[in-house]
Amino acid sequence: MTPEFILVTPQARPQVALIQLNRPKELNALNLQLMQEVAAALKALDQNPEVRVIVLAGSERAFAAGADIKQMAGRTAIDMLLIDQFSIWDQIRRTTKPLIAAVSGFALGGGCELAMTCDLIVASETAQFGQPEIRLGTMPGAGGTQRLTRAIGKARAMEMVLTGQSISAREAAQHGLVNRVVPVGQFLEEAFRLAHSIAQMSPVAARLAKESINRAFETHLDEGLHFERKNFYMTFASEDQKEGMAAFVEKRKPDFKGK
């Protein structure tokens, strides 16, 4: 079925797919259907052997202004529990390929959380990151208190979450929330450039490295180092590792096949 609220381009660039949130009148507010479409697209692209890196973008005006307030407003706690619409977000975490958020304009509430669920963030100069849920009498519910704290530290996360104030793209870069900030006309192209440089690498090694970095947030150092070492050894089962090291010795560019 053709998605209604997103646009999917499996080969936006060679080996790089693009998912674009496309609910412009509502500033890409994340309703249940939109998130189901994102999850389904990510699953399909993750299984598509032609795709090595995925870019997730909004528009210039808004990456996403949060979960859909109008959809949630009248719900009871039990409605929220039974619908459990945010469990669909687990699919984003299950994506094994590198996922880059290309953020311009508003990245608020669930929009900020969606960007932080990606592996890297390229921001335009107009990007604003914030968790304004407190102003609605609620709080972040899709990783905001956890990922923001890990990314920018407790004091800054507390201030953002407790006051609802946003930070600019520059501040986000200074505090390590985003990878880079570029002029607004270039944010998507810059995300593609970053995606392209990752797509040149061994997809097997990229997958294992991504998994290992994510493990750093989930476990203690000893277990994380053990996990990393196993994944490192595992790369030696790939043809890509043989190709990468042979290319170095032969002084040529490697050609990684993802096997």
Task: Tell me whether residue 98 or residue 140 sits nearer to ligand HXC (CB atom).
Answer: 140
Alpha-carbon distance 147 to 145, whole Å?
Answer: 6
Q: Which helix (H) or strand (E) holds 124?
A: strand 120-124
Residue of the chain from 58, 98, 109, 203 that contacts ligand HXC (CB under 6 A)? 109
Beta strands 128-130 and 106-108, pairing class:
parallel
* Annotated active-site residue in 64, 67, 115, 169: 67
End-to-end alpha-carbon separation of the chain, Å?
31
Residue 88 in the binding site for ligand HXC (CB under 6 A):
no
Q: Is 110 a catalytic residue?
A: yes
**Of 38-46, 62-70, 91-99, 188-196, which segment contacts ligand HXC by CB under 6 A?**
62-70
Q: Is 123 a catalytic residue?
A: no
* Annotated active-site residue in 113, 123, 144, 169: 113
Radius of gyration of the chain (CA): 19
Task: Tell me whether residue 69 or residue 225 sits nearer to ligand HXC (CB atom).
Answer: 69
**Of 68-76, 177-185, 203-211, 221-229, which segment contacts ligand HXC by CB under 6 A?**
68-76
Task: Tell me whether residue 98 or residue 132 sits nearer to ligand HXC (CB atom).
Answer: 132
Distances (CA, A) of 74 to 71, 89, 111: 8, 22, 21
* Annotated active-site residue in 29, 65, 133, 143: 133
- Tokens 């259907």 sit on residue: 33
Instruction: Report helix angle 221-235 to 203-215, nearest 10.
Output: 170
- DSSP 3-state assignment of 53? strand
Q: Is 133 a catalytic residue?
A: yes
Enzyme catalytic residues: 67, 110, 113, 133
Residues of the shown chain interacting with ligand HXC in the complex, contacts defined by CB under 6 A: 26-27, 29, 65-70, 86, 106, 108-110, 113, 132-133, 136, 140-142
